[in-house]
């Protein structure tokens, strides 16, 4: 159950995230898969049955036309996203004003990555052509330590650009620097 696994208020990795983002097209793929599995075995709920928060998310996406039913002549998938490149961003409430602002800015960078093809291409170009392999490895290790799937190259590039554009403490001389386990350069010194 995706929504239930991402909890607020706990330290470390995924459990301390105060913002979330995804492509509308990825949500359509996810909700189509769940619906397809549920249709295959209507008498027994699938392992991917939606939790109440996921049902609420699906309803919100449908209400705001970010998740559309597929045409009836098209049997699969059951949902589709609008034709535009759309990123869905969320920020948890109840945090300090500074944390909310920082999180919103970080999530907005993901929105740019999702919606502007030239920006996404520039991020990929920098990642693949300007950075050295050991620099990319430092980022993979850093993001993996935070609970991200560092094996997912698109996620890694997207998080890299968002952290580079928004992080104030990590890259400052006063901030807590993340030292990779391998003993390589700190992130602040690498860039």
Residues 21-78 pLDDT 10s: 999 999 999 999 888 887 776 666 555 678 888 999 999 999 999 999 887 777 667 8
Q: Which helix (H) or strand (E) holds 22?
A: strand 19-23
Q: Quote the CA–CA distance of 16 and 55 in Å, as a whole number.
A: 23
168-173 contact pairs (CB < 8 A, 24+): 168/102
pTM: 0.73
């Amino acid at each position: 159950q995706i929504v239930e696994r991402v909890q607020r208020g706990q330290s470390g990795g995924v459990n301390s995230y105060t913002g979330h983002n995804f492509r509308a097209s990825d949500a359509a793929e996810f909700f189509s898969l769940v619906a397809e599995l549920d249709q295959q075995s209507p008498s027994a709920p699938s392992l991917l049955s939606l939790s109440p928060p996921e049902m609420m998310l699906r309803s919100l996406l449908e209400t705001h036309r970010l998740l559309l039913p597929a045409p009836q002549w098209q049997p699969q998938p059951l949902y589709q996203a609008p034709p535009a490149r759309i990123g869905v961003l969320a920020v948890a409430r109840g945090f300090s004003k500074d944390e909310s602002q920082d999180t919103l800015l970080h999530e907005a960078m993901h929105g740019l990555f999702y919606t502007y093809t030239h920006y996404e291409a520039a991020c990929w170009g920098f990642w693949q052509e300007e950075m050295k392999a050991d620099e990319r490895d430092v980022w993979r290790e850093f993001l993996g330590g935070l609970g991200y799937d560092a094996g997912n190259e698109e996620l890694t590039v997207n998080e890299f650009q968002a952290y580079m554009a928004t992080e104030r403490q990590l890259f400052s001389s006063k901030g807590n620097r993340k030292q990779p386990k391998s003993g390589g350069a700190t992130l602040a010194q690498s860039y």
